[in-house]
Chain A
């Protein structure tokens, strides 16, 4: 089963402890959607994944990692 992990929480912390609400507003989603992504319960679309990566100024690989088990 495929699994997508992310480092959003770490990246938020490194970006001056950015809140989920702030990040959600910057990438144009609700806080609940961001929470679901952070907890690995929702896999974002490619567009949203790029938006999140761009917000932190990193590549998409630095935010999301794909595990095919």
Chain B
């Protein structure tokens, strides 16, 4: 055991970006599952939630692509993600939210967790003086965009939750 430093190498950065991809994968899988679990009647009754979940799944897929592009530019061996996708999908294949409140609460947790992850990662990169094989400013710009979209997503869910109270 030793005291860990901030982000200091391509390998460590790539690993953190991979964790970001898995988190996005989890968000996407859960949003998709929740969306599928809404019955036809419910979808008619609640287009707002349908739109929210559909948007969340699309946004997570987009975030994953942006993270994958960053990893490709780093000097590390890439790891295939098919297995992770299968694993996450299998994990959520069984679960169903109990009601709308459960769906929204879960979605809020997803967005907030992803926001926290990007926020910590940005802070760690800013605190590090390591040289990465990707442009630091470009890297931070991508991560700040993702963080901002997660914050917007959390606010969106919160608004809907408040309206429903």
Is the pairing of A and B real? Answer: no
Interface residues in chain A, defined as those with a beta carbon under 8 Å from any beta carbon in chain B:
none
